[in-house]
A and B are shown apart, each in its own frame.
Chain A
Amino acid sequence: MAEPGGSPDVTVIEPFGDAAVLVHPRIDVHAAAAAIDALRATRPGIGRAVPAHDTVLVPFDPLAIEPDAVAAGIRAAVAGPPGTLAPAAEPGADPPIEIAVRYGGPDGPDLAAVADLHGLRPRDVIELHAGASYRVLFLGFAPGFAYLGGLPGSLATPRRPSPRERVPAGSVGIAGEQTAVYPLAMPGGWQLIGRTDARLFDPTREPPIDLRPGSRIRFVPVR
């Protein structure tokens, strides 16, 4: 069922062990994940799709469904051009989620260093960071950790030389060309420029986080 070397116009479905496939869809990865999740209603044994940059990992129970049936189902589900998928399947169609952030000070201990590195004033960094519109590329690394695309290139900053042992929950950080909010307290090496009181990840709720792959986000400065 693998199609290595296939044309980039064709969805490639690569075996990933005997209980998952890695799908390289030609359509939008979030639309593909939604279509694959919808497929589960009629194909028991297929597990939750995990989208990332340009792939969707699809686990399955090999005792419940044959790999060929998994591949055939996925191929049919993601075959159509993007326009044939219902807009409701696109989380990006929702209004942006606003996250209130206190920039700088003890909440953003690296703000000054980030500003210095780029020859900016701290308030310029805040303006640039809060002025941009972000999209959740995917979630991973830790429960509720959303990788956001859309950081202005002028704010791209390397990680700290040594990671902090404990980054407080709600911290807003920059690493390379990415920005993210730490959903939980954990070790981390991102440059911290601010912090939100919003409890993004709450495991006692279902879903535990409002952000989904494809969600749009804006940061709103508060004091």
Chain B
Amino acid sequence: MTGPADVSEVAFEVLDGGLLTTIQDHGRPEWTHLGVPEGGAADRWSQAVANHLVGNAAEAAVLEMTLVGPTLQAARALTIGLAGADLGARLRGGRSLAPGRSIRLATGDIVEFPGDGASGGASGARAYLAIPGGIDVPLVLGSRSTCLAGAFGGLDGRPLRAGDRLVGGPDLVRPELAWAAATRSGPGDVLRILSVGSADLGPLTASMWQVGSASDRVGIRLDGPPLPPGSGGEVRTHGVAWGAVQVPPDGRPIVLGVDHQTTGGYRVAGVVIAADRPVLGQLGPGARVRLLETDPPAARAALVDQHDALAAGVAALRDAAGWVSLADHAGS
């Protein structure tokens, strides 16, 4: 092995980059005090499912694709894990590939994600593809994630494009598996929020909102009836969190995404609970979403339930794959 460029380790040749495909892992939470966005996968639940399907740790580096995914040609036989939105994935000239499964590819197979899968967009905006060992790009500030705002990380800080090569770890021949537990973290059209300060969440929770076209990993705009005058405003700039619901002076709310700026100067009415961040990560332009006020005990229960559901799914995968017995052999 001569290093990451060794052709034998190339997993995929990129024939088309898709609309916006980036490499994402756990992000850079240690550098937020220097203005570096936290980043990482926008839907950590789907990232975890894709990774577990190929035996990776939950936050190994994956491809995150948006609405229309890339076209990839397998440079060698390998197993991939797919999760998240249904972007119509299929083998060129062959079968369609549902999210929540691992698939065994032969050398030369072409995988494509034309968008508008069986769910017609209802399953979300972002799909995830994992390969054994994770996607190998250099660590920058402790992460392989693409930071679009800073143009670093991933593949030179930019989205995938034709001609790129994706390098992965060694492949282990694995059976094709299906994720038996829920493939989504929860209902896709509700974000539960906790109020901040004395904010009245009434107007925010009264409407069905539509995600605006100017929405991306940084944040989503909510289009709908404007909030009553005085709801929004500017405040002294302070640190903000993923999921914060900002209300600018124009009364049109913004929900901060995983690549949000580390500080903000708009009034914050509430924050999406941690358990609903995966739902937030799946909201693309045109999606409809309702905000629902919740309380801290319910937020905690939702997060614990989600954690347990993921663990149960991983245990079921291990049983199906016989990984536990393999590990036992290796340890004896």
Assembly CA distance A62 to B236 (angstroms): 27
Residue among B36, B238, B268 with most chain A CB within 10 A: B238
- Among listed B11-19, B150-158, B166-174, interface-contacting one: B150-158
Q: Are A139 and B35 in contact (CB under 8 A)?
A: yes
Interface status of A49 (Cβ within 8 A of chain B): yes
Residue among B193, B300, B307 with most chain A CB within 10 A: B300
Which residues of chain A come closer than 8 Å to B272, judged between CB atoms?
Answer: 17
- Among listed A18-26, A96-104, A119-127, A150-158, interface-contacting one: A18-26
- Nearest-Cβ distance from residue A47 to partner chain B, whole angstroms: 6
Assembly CA distance A185 to B168 (angstroms): 32
Which residues of chain B come closer than 8 Å to A197, judged between CB atoms?
Answer: none
Interface status of A14 (Cβ within 8 A of chain B): yes
Which residues of chain A come closer than 8 Å to B29, judged between CB atoms?
Answer: 47-48, 59
User: For chain A residues 39-76, which have a beta carbon within 8 Å of chain B?
Assistant: 47-57, 59, 62-63, 67
Assembly CA distance A55 to B239 (angstroms): 8
Q: Tell whether A48 pairs with B33 under 8 Å between CB atoms, given A15-B296, A62-B300.
A: yes
Interface status of A208 (Cβ within 8 A of chain B): yes
Encode B194-211 as 1/0 by CB contact (under 8 A) with A.
Answer: 101110000000000000
Interface status of A138 (Cβ within 8 A of chain B): yes
Q: Are A33 and B33 in contact (CB under 8 A)?
A: yes
Assembly CA distance A184 to B23 (angstroms): 21
Which residues of chain A come closer than 8 Å to B10, judged between CB atoms?
Answer: none
Interface SS of chain A: helix, strand, loop or mixed? loop
Q: Are A18 and B35 in contact (CB under 8 A)?
A: no
Q: Are B33 and A184 in contact (CB under 8 A)?
A: no
- Nearest-Cβ distance from residue B202 to partner chain A, whole angstroms: 19
Query: Residue on A with the closest CB to B241?
Result: A20
Interface residues on B, range: 35 or more
Q: Are A143 and B37 in contact (CB under 8 A)?
A: yes
Which listed residue (B35, B198, B243, B300) contacts A145, Cβ 8 A?
B35
Interface status of A144 (Cβ within 8 A of chain B): yes
- Nearest-Cβ distance from residue A214 to partner chain B, whole angstroms: 11
Interface status of B122 (Cβ within 8 A of chain A): no
- Nearest-Cβ distance from residue A198 to partner chain B, whole angstroms: 16
- Nearest-Cβ distance from residue B239 to partner chain A, whole angstroms: 3
Interface status of B244 (Cβ within 8 A of chain A): yes
Which residues of chain B come closer than 8 Å to A4, judged between CB atoms?
Answer: 197-198
Q: Are A141 and B263 in contact (CB under 8 A)?
A: yes
- Nearest-Cβ distance from residue B113 to partner chain A, whole angstroms: 29
Interface status of A140 (Cβ within 8 A of chain B): yes
- Nearest-Cβ distance from residue B192 to partner chain A, whole angstroms: 10
Which residues of chain B come closer than 8 Å to A81, judged between CB atoms?
Answer: none
Q: Are A15 and B32 in contact (CB under 8 A)?
A: no
Which listed residue (A19, A147, A204, A212) contacts B241, Cβ 8 A?
A19
Assembly CA distance A143 to B32 (angstroms): 8
Interface status of B314 (Cβ within 8 A of chain A): no
Which listed residue (A22, A186, A204) contacts B238, Cβ 8 A?
A22
Interface status of A173 (Cβ within 8 A of chain B): no
Which residues of chain B come closer than 8 Å to A209, judged between CB atoms?
Answer: 34
Q: Apart from A16-B244, A142-B150, what are 20 other A-B pairs with CB-CB below 8 Å?
A: A17-B274, A18-B303, A19-B274, A48-B31, A49-B33, A50-B262, A52-B236, A53-B237, A57-B240, A62-B299, A62-B300, A62-B303, A140-B261, A141-B35, A143-B147, A146-B35, A184-B149, A203-B36, A203-B150, A208-B34
Report 5 cross-chain contacts, Cβ distance below 8 Å, ordered by A residue: A18-B274, A141-B263, A143-B34, A143-B37, A144-B36
Which residues of B approach A to under 8 Å, CB–CB? 29-37, 140-142, 147, 149-153, 193-194, 196-198, 236-241, 243-244, 261-264, 268, 270-274, 296, 299-300, 303-304, 307
